[in-house]
Amino acid sequence: QVHVVESGGGSVQPGRSLRLSCEHTGYPYNYYCVGWFREIPGKEREGVADIWTGSDTAEYADFVKGRFTISQDYSKNMVYLQMNNLKPEDTAQYYCAIRRWCGDGIPSAASFEYWGQGTQVNVSS
C-alpha cells in the first residue's frame, strides 16, 4: 500500500524560509519520480518541482528557480522542499505526489498516481 505524507507547512513572513517534508512508502519500484505541487483556491494545481529518486535529477517551475530546492534522503524514503525567500504569492496548499517516471519538465498533476493530503503554507506580514 502506497503512503504519501507531507509535513512542515506553517505561517511565515515574507523573506523567511520553510522546509516541507514528504514521506513516501510502498511504491513498488526502486526508483521513481516524486513531485511537489501547490494549489491556490480557484486555480489549477501547479507543479513546483520534481526529483528522480534514482539520481537526484531535479526540475523546477520558473517561479521558484533560485528560491526553492528539492532534495531527498533515499534511505529514509523522504523528499524535501526547501523554500527560501518566500513571497505572499507562495501561499498555497502544497502536495507531494508520486509517478513512475519523471519527464522533460514537471509532468502534469493528472499524471501522478499517488498523493498526500497536503500541507498549508501561508506567507504574510
Average pLDDT over residues 96-122: 96
User: Which pLDDT score is estimated for 6?
Assistant: 98
Q: Name the pairing type of β-strands 10-12 and 119-123.
A: parallel
Q: Residue 120: CA atoms inside 13 Å, Cβ hemisphere, count?
A: 4
Question: CA-to-CA distance for 97 and 100, rounded, in angstroms?
Answer: 11
- Number of H-type helices and E-type strands within the chain: 0, 11
Q: How far is CA 65 from CA 20, 48, 59, 74, in A?
A: 16, 9, 9, 23
| Ranges 8-12, 40-44, 78-82: which has the least confidence | 40-44
Q: What confidence score (pLDDT) does residue 52 get? A: 97
pLDDT at 41: 86
* pLDDT of residue 9 exceeding 90: yes
Q: What is the pLDDT of residue 103?
A: 86
Looking at residue 24, what is its pLDDT? 97
Tell me the DSSP string of 68-86. Answer: EEEEEEGGGTEEEEEE-S-
What are 45-87's pLDDT values in tens digits? Answer: 999 999 999 998 999 999 999 999 999 999 999 999 999 999 9
